[in-house]
Structure 1
Amino acid sequence: PGLTVIGVTGSYGKTSVKFYLQTLLQEKYNVLVTPESFNTPMGVVRTIRGSLKPTTEIFVCEMGARHVGDIKEICDMVHPDHGVITSIGPQHLETFFNMENIQKTKFELADALPEGGMLFLNGDNDYIQQQAASPAYDQTPEKIFYYSETEGTGYCAKDVKVSQLGTEFTVVTPDGESERFQMRLIGAHNVINVVGAIAVAHRMGMTLQELRIPVRRIEPVPHRMQMREHGLVTIIDDAYNSNPVGSRAAVETLAMFDGIRILITPGMVELGDKEAEYNHKFGNYAADCCDYILLVGRRHTEPIREGVLEKGFPEEKCLVFDKLEEAVSYAYAIKGQGHKYILLENDLTDNY
């Protein structure tokens, strides 16, 4: 009794937002979150049976989906009071078949919310804006948007500054209240996720002032734009990422650093028949942001290489390797003045 359940779903960003919510909300409440990527019915059941206590005040439940109806199944178990939809994009197109199915499935969380429930939505995402505007969501639940790139009637991030030490930004609430935040995370795409977490915590009764210190405490989620220093080399580990929006944001973040900027990537997978197209576009973005592009796997990375060379990128600086270790060794051996920044972008499963 008295337990508040917050469901978190999205094509990407949901695990990060879940952990950011834990860091912010535990300043004031007793919080339980589903661990790691426990976002299936079995993972949720294990969390509830093994970790939910009578003293728990807020349960943040990550909800994953590969098929239509997957989110509804988890909602029917946990009965969320509020929900967060972090993004909608072409993830798992092989099992969803089209974007419309993905949109409907993510909004199964909205369908499950009770009267008085709050639905927090990433306002930067066109698919979310489109679905939220449909007549089905006119009345309930209350829609609260959050933004990082645009201004809207919600929580907005402004004056974003990224450096090697992290990111600074100002959050403006729908009422016009504002506060400057600092965090150790890098990457503009992390800003939108943290703003979403701030919006939830603020509406759950925490002041912006109260949130300043916990935002500073937010740790990078492993393999999601996680920085590691090795002498004159900084590794930016974004290996978990495999979506077009995050991949573009990652190389654009790499471009902000002053030094030798090296991208190592095997490309994106599980994007169905759009895979080659998205990887080609990724090559276009990467060409504008990197000094060296090292591709892992010959067959799979051909669309990226075509996209890179199409932009006039020097061919001798876009190389293909069979193994990740070979690419990393080559990156370490690159001669040149200044600090090296090596971005490990995307990860391939053993099937590839």
Structure 2
Amino acid sequence: MTGSYGKTSVKYYLHTLLQEHFNVLITPESYNTPMGVVKTIRSSLKPTHELFICEMGARHVGDIKEICDIVHPDMGVITSIGPQHLETFFNMENIVSTKYELGDALPEGGMLFLNGDNEYVSGNADKYKTKTFYRVNSEGEGYHAENIKLTQTGTDFTVVAPSGEKENYHMKLVGAHNVINVVGAIAVANTLGVKLSDLIIPVRRILPVAHRLELLERGNVTIIDDAYNSNPVGSKAAVETLNMFDGVRILVTPGMVELGDKEEEYNYKFGTYAAANCDYVLLVGAKHTEPIKKGVLDSGFDENKCKVYDTLQEALAYAYTIKDEGHKFILLENDLTDNY
């Protein structure tokens, strides 16, 4: 599986859904380079394994093809295509063609699973005959989710299969982009012969991938740890998820990087999304966060609730002193690697 974002999450979710039905090996952590994949194969792949779930990452045109030449995939998943690593890809056309190197590598009849809500994925799928879409925001061919509800313990949703069969699920994860990642994993598992009803308990067992909208309780404060996310689509989804919680909603972020000449534009837009969904915006690093601050204030946000700090620790220290009534929800967003 590959994608600008979501591939690590879908890999782990799919492993959880399949491990009771197959002997499965996955590439560990973010081992998604040719060297990491070869290391996994040499050290861990056994004749008794029935499935190998391989995550494929890319920073240059041809990177996915190189891994496909090693793995020879029978099925593929493209979780998303977006402006990730624009500094090394130079343009979106190169990113699209690189992700679809996975589709080009599949044998005749090899199923390609595609995120139908992603315009770059769905808009470039026509030449692939054997494909299955999965969706959250729109109905269409393939698998889709409906009746999505955020609860105190996670998210409830219904999945509708291409056959029209439906099943209700509950997961411990939050966020619409987590729903679509789980729907993608359900689509693959169901295609491999696992009944939708047999996935109810495995879906409940899915755990958040560390630092990807992970809920951490800290007394009267809930930390929503999305520190590994650094893409525009995920960042927008994260603040929209924050807005779904009833309480004081606080964003802490240093902004997004590796977006090439679009970086300022995407960070400005992120500021407008933050203003629409947050009660406080705490920025880490003055220079890099200028476009975010401008987007926040241009949206009419209270400038007394948009502050800039030199370090994450200083931002968090202020967040904990906020006296507004209600439970505090602190979203840690974008490449925050410090300890907290």
Q: TM-score range by the shorter chain?
A: over 0.9
Give CA-to-partner distance per residue, 1:142-172, whole Å, 9 cap, x none. Answer: 1100000000101000010012310010000
Q: Taking structure 1 as reference, are residues 260 and 278 closer, same or farther at Cα in structure 2, changes over 3 Å only? A: same
Task: Measure how far apart 1:348 and its partner are.
Answer: 5.3
Post-superposition shift, 1:349?
7.2
Partner of 2:306: 318
Structure 2 CA distance for aligned equivalents of residues 158 and 284 of structure 1: 28
Q: What TM-score does the superposition give when structure 2 sets the normalisation length?
A: 0.98
**Counterparts of 1:52 and 1:150 in 2: how far apart (Å)?**
38
**SS of residue matched to 1:174:** coil
Q: Cα deviation per residue 1:30-59 (whole Å; 9 max; x = unaligned)?
A: 000000000000000111111111111000
Residues 78-132 of structure 1 show CA distances to partners (whole Å, capped at 9, x for unaligned) of 1000000000000000000000000000000000000120000000000011111
State the one-letter code of the partner of 2:329: Y
Aligned partner of 1:41 among 28, 34, 38: 34
Alignment map for 1:60-99 (pairs within 5 Å): 60-99=53-92
Question: Runs in 1 of length 4+ with deviation above 2 angstroms?
Answer: none
Structure 1 portions without partners, runs of 5+: 1-7
State the secondary structure of the residue aligned to 1:84: strand
Structure 1 SS opposite 2:68 = helix
Q: Which residue of 2 aligns with 1:127?
A: 120
Q: How does 1:172-191 map to 2 (within 5 A)?
A: 172-191=160-179
Across the two proteins, how many residue pairs are aligned to each other?
338
CA contact (8 A) 1:269 1:348 kept: no
Aligned counterparts, 1:192-341, within 5 A: 192-341=180-329
1:162 maps onto 2:150 in alignment:
yes
d(CA) in 2 for partners of 1:261, 1:348: 18
Contact kept, 8 Å, 1:32 with 1:52, in 2: the verdict is yes
Query: Percent identity of the aligned residues?
Result: 72
TM-score when normalising by structure 1: 0.95
Residue 271 of structure 1 aligns with an amino acid whose one-letter code is L
Q: Give the distance between the partners of 1:280 and 1:192, measured in 2 at CA.
A: 26
Q: Deviations over 1:145-204 (max 9, x none)?
A: 000000010100001001231001000001100000000000111001000000000000
Distance 2:114 2:211 in 1: 24
**Which one-letter code corresponds to 1:159 in the other structure?**
N
- The answer to whether the 8 A contact 1:187-1:250 is kept is yes
RMSD: 1.0
SS in 2 for 1:156: strand
How many Å apart are 1:27 and its aligned residue? Answer: 1.6
The answer as to whether partners of 1:163 and 1:257 remain within 8 angstroms in 2 is no
Contact 2:253 2:336 in 1 (8 A): no
